[in-house]
């Protein structure tokens, strides 16, 4: 439903007297009996009743205010954090990559000069160079590979390189031709730097997830009772089904993974759907219970009667005890909203005492005599 404050037209710091006065005025103006030609009067009257049910109860009002503040705050913070951090992370990674390339080029040039002075073997692998520099021992598989390389003959039959090999050779930086005319060998310094970078630099963790898509899913009372999942349309035009929880209520939140917002390089967000029960001609709702009205006249209110109440499963009879006013509520067990797969809430029928369609002179005389006393 809409914001109950805006439905009743009161401010958020309104006291109970203001709320009650606004509800009475709105209920009187929107009552279906006062608007027989307005097809929306019943739904608007029901909406006013739901708004008053929330705001007249201090506990419900407090929970609504807290949920509204928490929802708006989290939504704004999540969006700002996601997009701002993504932009900052991308800029930081680009700066680090430029700095790393510059350091690698400088280190390669310096190491080339040092290796040239020491007469290092250009055919040594990066692992061999590191083992010499730091006195480490190579792993058995690395030692075996190095032995295989030393055992291989240096002279190999010359073959015409393929086009893709020639292109790769031209693209390699710091390439030096072999003395025996073989394929160019990449600079040992660059080979060493590349090896160190591969071992030490780990790929940056991808951003966690794109923002969630928050929306409302409208569902009718009949759909809740028949366990029919509502459908919603996403911004891209795709329709998805929202699974109903066992204790679905107005305001229940359902998360559907993988159908939220999309952003490059990020995992797709989720859909966070808030269930909203559509206004009903006969019923309102309070948690798992359904609320409705049963109309009786003054005579039956005084003497008691059997009244017919409309329930989601059809009409049923309830007993109204004698001297029942408009505050009397008849509870019909098991006719409310589902609590789980086997249990349902109750239907609460509130008595409304109505006058007859036309004035009755006997009743008028009786009320006058009760008010003013009997005179002979």
Confidence category of residue 374, pLDDT binned at 50, 70, 90: low
Q: Do the Cβ atoms of 272 and 245 come closer than 8 Å?
A: no
- For residue 181, the Cα-to-chain-centroid distance in whole angstroms is 65
pLDDT at 245 over 80: yes
Segment 235-251 mean pLDDT: 90
CA atoms within a 13 Å half-sphere pointing along the CA-CB vector of 207: 22
Pairing of strands 289-297, 284-286: antiparallel
Compute CA distances 334 → 4, 225, 288, 301, 308, whole Å: 28, 12, 10, 26, 17
| Backbone torsions φ then ψ of 346, nearest 5 degrees | -105, 160
**pTM for this one?**
0.43
Of residues 2 and 263, which shows the higher confidence score? 263
User: Could you report the per-residue pLDDT of 37-86, keeping only the tens digit for each?
Assistant: 777 777 787 888 888 888 888 888 888 888 877 766 555 554 555 666 77
pLDDT at 139 over 50: no
Burial of 70 (0-12, 13-18, 19+ CB in 10 A): exposed
Q: How far apart are CA 5 and CA 13, in angstroms?
A: 10
User: Could you report the per-residue pLDDT of 149-187, keeping only the tens digit for each?
Assistant: 554 444 444 444 444 444 444 444 444 444 454 555 555
pLDDT at 352: 93
Q: How far apart are CA 257 and CA 270, in angstroms?
A: 4
pLDDT at 72: 62
Compute CA distances 217 → 17, 220, 364, whole Å: 34, 10, 52
pLDDT at 3: 83
* Average confidence score pLDDT of the chain: 76
Of residues 41 and 254, which shows the higher confidence score? 254
Pairing of strands 213-219, 271-277: parallel
pLDDT at 174: 43
pLDDT at 220 over 90: yes
Confidence category of residue 33, pLDDT binned at 50, 70, 90: confident
pLDDT at 4 over 50: yes
- Find, among 127, 116, 131, 122, the residue nearest to 154 by Cα: 122
pLDDT at 360: 86
């Amino acid at each position: 439903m809409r914001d109950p404050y805006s439905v009743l037209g009161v401010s958020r710091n309104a006291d109970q007297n203001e709320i009650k006065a606004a509800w009475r005025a709105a209920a009187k103006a929107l009552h279906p009996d006062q608007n027989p030609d307005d097809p929306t009067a019943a739904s608007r009257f029901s909406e006013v009743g739901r708004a008053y049910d929330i705001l007249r109860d201090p506990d419900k009002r407090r929970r609504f205010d807290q949920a509204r503040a928490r929802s708006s705050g989290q939504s704004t913070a999540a969006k700002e954090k996601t997009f701002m951090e993504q932009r900052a992370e991308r800029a930081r990674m680009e700066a680090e990559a430029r700095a790393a390339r510059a350091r690698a080029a400088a280190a390669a040039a310096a190491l080339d000069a040092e290796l040239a002075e020491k007469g290092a073997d250009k055919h040594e692998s990066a692992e061999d160079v590191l083992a010499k520099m730091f006195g480490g021992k190579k792993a058995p598989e690395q030692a075996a590979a190095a032995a295989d390389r030393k055992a291989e003959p240096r002279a190999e039959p010359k073959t015409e390189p393929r086009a893709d090999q020639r292109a790769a050779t031209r693209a390699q930086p710091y390439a030096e031709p072999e003395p025996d005319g073989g394929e160019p060998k990449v600079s040992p310094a660059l080979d060493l730097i590349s090896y160190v970078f591969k071992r030490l630099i780990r790929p940056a963790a991808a951003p966690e997830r794109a923002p969630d898509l928050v929306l409302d899913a409208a569902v009718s009372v009949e759909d809740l009772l028949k366990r029919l999942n509502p459908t919603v349309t996403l911004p891209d035009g795709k329709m998805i089904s929202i699974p109903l929880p066992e204790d679905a209520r107005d305001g229940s939140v359902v998360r559907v993974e993988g159908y939220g917002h999309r952003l490059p390089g990020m995992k797709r967000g989720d859909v966070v759907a808030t269930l909203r029960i559509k206004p009903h001609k006969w019923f309102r709702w309070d948690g798992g219970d359904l609320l409705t009205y049963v109309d009786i006249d003054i005579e039956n209110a005084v003497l008691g009667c059997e009244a017919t109440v409309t329930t989601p499963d059809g009409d049923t009879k309830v007993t109204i005890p004698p001297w029942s006013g408009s505050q009397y509520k008849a509870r019909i067990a098991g006719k409310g909203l589902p609590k789980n797969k086997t249990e349902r809430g109750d239907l609460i029928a509130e008595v409304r005492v109505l006058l007859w369609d036309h004035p009755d002179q006997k009743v008028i005389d009786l009320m006058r005599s009760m008010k003013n006393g009997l005179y002979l």
